[in-house]
Amino acid sequence: MGALLAERVEFPDGILVTVARADVPADGRTATIVLSVFPREEGPRALALAEASLFDLQGEIYTRLDRHPGPRIGFALDTRAENA
């Protein structure tokens, strides 16, 4: 997913976005992609950019997995470092 985000989403210079983890329940119907963003203040902006590309990303994931329907993708910001 990290490579796909890098290919498909143009984040502004000075914003570093990485995939911290993917939370997928046992049924595999959904997947929450948790993003770590630096600087942290740019988190909402980066999240909005990722969500704006969600339709294209979702389609590419279905193609790569050769599975339809694939998991329903959503994004969230990593807050673990804030709570540490």
Give the global pTM: 0.86
Options 3.30.450.20, 3.30.300.20, 3.30.360.10, 3.40.50.261; CATH for 2-78 is 3.30.300.20
What tokens does 81 get?
Answer: 């470092």
Q: What is the pLDDT of residues 19-74, one digit of tens each?
A: 999 999 998 889 999 999 999 999 999 999 999 999 999 888 888 877 667 789 99
DSSP state at residue 11: P
| Ranges assigned E (strand) in 1-84 | 16-23, 30-38, 72-77
CA atoms within 13 A on the CB side of 1: 22
Domain boundaries, the chain: 2-78
Task: Read off the amino acid at residue 14.
Answer: G
